[in-house]
Structure 1
Amino acid sequence: MRFIILSLTLLLAAPVAQAQEPSAIPDVIGQQLEAFEADDFARAFTFASPMIKGYFRTPENFGAMVQEGYPMVHRPGSVTFGTQRSEGGSIYQSVTIRDAEGRYHALEYEMIPDGAGGWLIDGVSFVPAPDVSA
């Protein structure tokens, strides 16, 4: 009987463990980018952490901030996912976005577990370009 209970527990826990794998992070970011492209700020807001939701309070406020401060996220030309790093309880995902004018922007998404086996976006930062002067 113990074996059956243990087996069921492991089987039920497996999908949660798989869903919280860092490999799922690009999909979460991609879904939010798709929502922004469709001007579906309510859907885009669902990928934000409680801290982000508390700060902006409404999907409309959140969407306005993205349109003003992150136009390349609102209307990306192309998106490339780079490396991930772990720090504290967060995973940081590097993302390069090419905007409509052909300029490249290096961003870093801070991702946190959502408590249900997935991921939420807890912040996006610009990564400064390296100094290439001689």
Structure 2
Amino acid sequence: MPARFAFAARRLAAHLLFVLSGIIFVMPAPLAHAEDPVEDAQAIITRQIDALRSGDAAAAYGFASPDIRSLFPDQTTFLDMVKKRYAPLSRADRYAFGRSKLVGGGEIVLQEVTGTGSDAKDWTAIYDMRLQDDGSYKINGVRMLAKSASTGI
């Protein structure tokens, strides 16, 4: 009987170890600041601009913060607003990242983006990126400027 118990205990321990290793493997990143907030913010901005240029409303909407999504409760309304108020972003031929500023140790990243639209007009956008509880950044607002002038970030 003791040998049988030892075998069962080892089997249970192995099973638990297997289950726990699977849980650890699929757990989301810890709720901490990103290693490089600016790099993470720029990656999100790039992915949203790509989604806007391709007309992928669901993807573009997914990069918006919960505060923005509460103002535009569906992806169609969101995309319509972006096309009207932020047209250069959805028609960006070329763009580059400029200055950035971390606020609150990285909870907020202000990122300058300059570009040229399909109409050959230059533009500057200041993205307000917010760190979320899950450690990701979401776009919490964009301020468009007509020309690529000094923005004072």
User: Could you say which TM-score interval applies, normalised by the shorter chain?
Assistant: 0.7 to 0.9
1:76 matched to which residue of 2?
A: 92
The two structures have a TM-score, normalised by structure 1, of 0.79
Structure 2 CA distance for aligned equivalents of residues 63 and 104 of structure 1? 22
Which residue, out of 108, 122, 144, partners 1:90?
108
Give unmatched runs, 5+ long, in structure 1: 1-11
Count, aligned residues: 121
CA contact (8 A) 1:20 1:118 kept: no
For residues 90-111 of structure 1, the C-alpha deviation after alignment (integer angstroms, 9 at most, x for no partner) is 1100000210011110110000
Which of 1 and 2 has greater Rg? 2
Question: What are the ranges of 5 or more consecutive residues in structure 2 without an aligned counterpart?
Answer: 1-27
Identical counterparts, % of pairs: 25
With over 3 angstroms needed to count, the CA separation of the structure-2 counterparts of 1:13 and 1:37, relative to structure 1, is closer
Is it true that 1:37 corresponds to 2:43 in the alignment?
A: no
Which residue type is aligned with residue 131 of structure 2?
P
Q: 1:13 to 1:118 in 2, by over 3 A?
A: closer
Q: What is aligned with 1:49?
A: 65
Partner of 1:77: helix, strand, or coil? strand
Residue 133 (structure 2) pairs with residue 115 (structure 1): yes
Q: Compute the TM-score of the two structures, normalised by the length of structure 2.
A: 0.70
